[in-house]
Structure 1
């Protein structure tokens, strides 16, 4: 993971906040309308838990009638929190050790947003794609702004060729496309 990225850089600042006394069905409708998978449960400005899709499903199997249930009947009460300036590697470790799929980002007790496993994975995936792009440019012998170098006859004409990550052929017209080093045939697919 990129050690220069902090939680503040990847957190979702738009979160759904609900009260523990809110109706469960209404809260699920709110989650669906906002296309989010968790709500921060608050008492005043303090976060006291989180309500996730998994919590709602568990209540459907084990708990009271959802039409009569409140958020407090289904929520997870112990949700780890993290400061916005924390490195994402530290946040990932905290998620892993606390067995939580998300952390509430707080400045003291007030929630500022949520960072999820997806946020961290997306950051890691972007880092990997950037590293692969840089490696591919070195393999092909070109910089991102320049044309490919011409073949050197002393090397048998293979200086600017490499293997396409799509089809595995040896080609000189490779270009990074969607994070992969691809030949013109594979880019056309």
Structure 2
């Protein structure tokens, strides 16, 4: 990936936003409904804190009926600008020891970048051969089996299967060239179970 990929390209524009005066029980319902783990606490459009599902769970035994988000929220996650390099944002996430960044533009919350978004985005770019991807690995479903078949290491059936993009949940072992769903990283190579056992 090169520096042309920005946070704006990868961030999620959909997030749960709540205010400090919202009831804890109501926020818990919203998080469950949206299957979210984090709500950004905003004052107007400026983030002033966050509340996670874990934060809410820790107050279940307390008198949650009278508690507001302001009672349980914590400091906001680190922020980043939408035009910042995606790689710089990942570095910030790593150095700050967080799995998410709030994306702000002139103090206005415009999105959230999570570690899950980063993995999904990077995987999508690799699979689709998107711009900015620098890799000598071919995307999943690419015609990688034909060269191996010519070398005699893969049968013609496997070569045709790996060339078929309908097998997007499968990939090719970098050691033997077989098509499989179960690849694991071993000494920098993605290999199948048979090659791991050798």
**TM-score normalized with structure 2 length:** 0.69
Task: Name the CA distance, whole Å, in 2 between partners of 1:91 and 1:163.
Answer: 41
- Matching of residue 175 in structure 1 with residue 162 in structure 2: yes
Equivalenced residue count is 166
Kindly state the Cα deviation for residue 136 of structure 1 after the two structures are TM-superposed.
5.5
Task: Name the CA distance, whole Å, in 1 between partners of 2:154 and 2:50.
Answer: 48
Residues 34 and 185 of structure 1: CA distance in aligned 2, closer, same or farther (over 3 Å): closer
Instruction: Please provide the CA RMSD for this pair.
Output: 3.3
Task: Name the CA distance, whole Å, in 1 between partners of 2:57 and 2:26.
Answer: 15
Q: Does the 8 Å CA contact 1:13/1:113 hold for their aligned counterparts?
A: yes
Match of 2:98 in 1: 100
Match of 1:111 in 2: 109
SS at match of 2:26: helix
Q: Does the 8 Å CA contact 1:161/1:171 hold for their aligned counterparts?
A: no
Match of 2:89 in 1: 91
Task: Name the CA distance, whole Å, in 1 between partners of 2:159 and 2:14.
Answer: 46
SS at match of 1:59: coil
Residues 173 and 83 of structure 1: CA distance in aligned 2, closer, same or farther (over 3 Å): same
| Per-residue CA distance 1:9-53 (angstroms, 9 max, x = gap) | 121112221111110000111122223221110112211011111
**TM-score normalized with structure 1 length:** 0.72
- Matching of residue 73 in structure 1 with residue 79 in structure 2: no
Q: Which has the larger radius of gyration?
A: 1
Q: Does the 8 Å CA contact 1:84/1:107 hold for their aligned counterparts?
A: yes
Alignment of 1:16-165 (within 5 A): 16-60=16-60, 64-129=62-127, 130=129, 131-133=137-139, 137-138=143-144, 140-141=146-147, 159=150, 161-163=152-154
Residues 110 and 174 of structure 1: CA distance in aligned 2, closer, same or farther (over 3 Å): same
Q: Does the 8 Å CA contact 1:136/1:181 hold for their aligned counterparts?
A: no
